[in-house]
Amino acid sequence: MIWRKYCFIIAGAIIQGFAMGVFLFPHSIPSGGAGGITVLLNHWFNIPMSIGLWIVNASMLMVAVHYLGTESALGTLIGITITSLSVNFFEENVYIPYINSWFDLFIGSLILGIGVGTLLREGVSQGGIGILALIISRSRGIAPGKPLFWINGFIFVLTAYVINWQIVIQAVICQWLSTRVVDLIYELRIRNTLIALKLLPRKK
């Protein structure tokens, strides 16, 4: 049902925004390539994280509408808009006493993975550099993982050079932890689908 789909998109976007706004962005930890560009925009031009994140994701989405399709593009636009609004809300209204940047990295990465996984389950991209990597992969006939790795890697190194080299390590760890959670959510989806198929009445 369409309302159920968009409820999950909104929920996933809010969860993603919570992870970014409360745990990752306060330490300038990029959640991905788009997050790295957002951190740089904030550092260079003092653009608020929420607005910078929306600008980066929306610009990528405008380029990739042809590749995503209208319905998926609409869901992605809703997702990145809700994520940006959530980042702004949580940055201004939620305060968690500082404990340790590595602890926040761990918790934020897990929560981020839940949000991203929820969006991907609904066939919606979370935006960002993943869209650009998909375009390159289709035009070059290669797997998207390689361009995604190199683009994100370049952005992480640039962010680390400008702000702090520790960010590279934290960004890689964030990517690894969050993608593991995404995989778990996807496996859960596949398992539930298989169970549902088994319960369907068979034709005799």
Please write the tens of the pLDDT for every residue from 125-173.
666 776 776 677 667 876 555 676 788 778 888 888 888 787 778 888 8
Examine the pLDDT at 107 and tell me if it is beyond 80.
yes
* Domain extents in the chain: 2-199
Among 1-5, 10-14, 96-100, the range with the most confident prediction by mean pLDDT is 10-14
**pLDDT reported for residue 61:** 76
**pLDDT reported for residue 197:** 46
- Contacts from 95-100 at CB under 8 Å and sequence distance 24+? 96/22, 96/23
Portion of the chain with pLDDT greater than 70, in percent: 78
What's CA 128's distance to the chain center, in Å? 7
Characterise 95 by phi-psi region: left (phi > 0), alpha (psi -120 to 50), beta (else): beta
In the numeric block, the tokens 């990528």 are attached to 60
Examine the pLDDT at 83 and tell me if it is beyond 70.
yes
Per-residue pLDDT reduced to its tens digit, 164-197: 787 778 888 887 888 788 778 866 755 555 554 4
Query: What is the residue-wise DSSP string for the chain?
Result: -HHHHHHHHHHHHHHHHHIIIIIIGGGT--SSHHHHHHHHHHHHH---HHHHHHHHHHHHHHHHHHHH-HHHHHHHHHHHHHHHHHHHHHHHH-------HHHHHHHHHHHHHHHHHHHHHTT----THHHHHHHHHHHHTS-THHHHHHHHHHHHHHHHHHT-THHHHHHHHHHHHHHHHHHHHHHHHHHHHHHHHHHSPPP-
Angle (CA) 33 136 64, round 5°: 75
**pLDDT reported for residue 17:** 92
70 vs 12, higher pLDDT: 12
**Whole-prediction pTM value?**
0.74
**Which tokens belong to 9?**
């998109």
Q: How confident is the model at residue 113 (pLDDT cuts 50, 70, 90)?
A: confident
Examine the pLDDT at 86 and tell me if it is beyond 90.
yes
Q: Which of 32-46, 106-120, 156-170, 177-191 has the lowest mean pLDDT?
A: 177-191
Examine the pLDDT at 15 and tell me if it is beyond 90.
yes
